[in-house]
Amino acid sequence: MKRVLLIQCPDSIGLIHKVTSVLLDTSANIVSNHEFVEPRDFVFFMRTEFTGGGDSTNLRDRLISVLPPNSLVEIKNLERPKVVILATKEAHCLGDLLLRARFGELEMDIQAVISNHDTLKDLASDFHIPFHCISHENLDRSDHEIHVSNQIQSYNPDWIILAKYMRILSPEFVSTHKDKMVNIHHSFLPAFIGAKPYEKAYARVVKIVGATAHFVTENLDEGPILVQDVIHVDHADSPERLALFGKDLEKVVLAKAIRILLEHRVMVYENRTIIFD
């Protein structure tokens, strides 16, 4: 079975030799290997796909023994993670993820869709995915989030995908699901944060429309960025047409972000992402 080795540590001479020597000694076969050194803080990052190598715990201990102090070493299996999707009323991102998962373009098991409206219930049902409508009506944000969080935890997902979930999450909710949530944003962050982004873009006569997928943190729309992309537009495009272009882009950007996460190609350093394509 193929596995992925992720290493983050202070840079020093001979790191690659030390790592590959341990892999050789444990009869591991390297399938692919990528490294990067952060040029300001001199931090070394490495992603290695390999087969063999024996027990993961023993292999990790041996690697830590040859690496600098405070090194981070993770060994990941390339298997189908469990995913819960949060959505509201917009169908384009949810529908795209359901379709890609159904036909193997995204290797993940969608456990459930949770929404604060029942608009997308039939869409989830078409794919035989459990749908939970947890209305926010007559509930304050804290109480609503407790209900949503309890439902999420009943599935114990590896990842939580916000597929146009139009609720601002509290720091408490984010901390409960720390490092598990991914969001798709309707613009090329940090531009046009907040409501009516395409009206704002139209008013500025923008020349590009973008989308951003990022990790969710306690700071709204400021989490480490996973994928961004843009398309060119011009003065003749109405806000409605800009929104249509934006929806197309959001689907692709979110799918790319999920794919690199499923393949363990992302490492986070401070508020930045190191992505090995």
List the catalytic residues. 221
Residue 110's nearest CA partner among 120, 121, 102 is 102
Length of the chain in terms of residues written: 277
> Helices marked H in 187-238 — which ranges?
197-203
Structure tokens at 196: 């009516």
**Residue 94: enclosing H or E segment and its boundaries?**
helix 92-102
Structure tokens at 134: 């947890």
Q: In angstroms, rounded to a whole number, what is the distance separating the alpha carbons of residues 152 and 94?
A: 17
Question: Angle, nearest 10°, between helix axes 92-102 and 239-262?
Answer: 40
Are 71 and 9 in contact by the 8 Å Cβ rule? The answer is: yes
Are 118 and 192 in contact by the 8 Å Cβ rule? The answer is: no
Q: In angstroms, rounded to a whole number, what is the distance separating the alpha carbons of residues 252 and 8?
A: 29
Q: In angstroms, rounded to a whole number, what is the distance separating the alpha carbons of residues 122 and 204?
A: 38
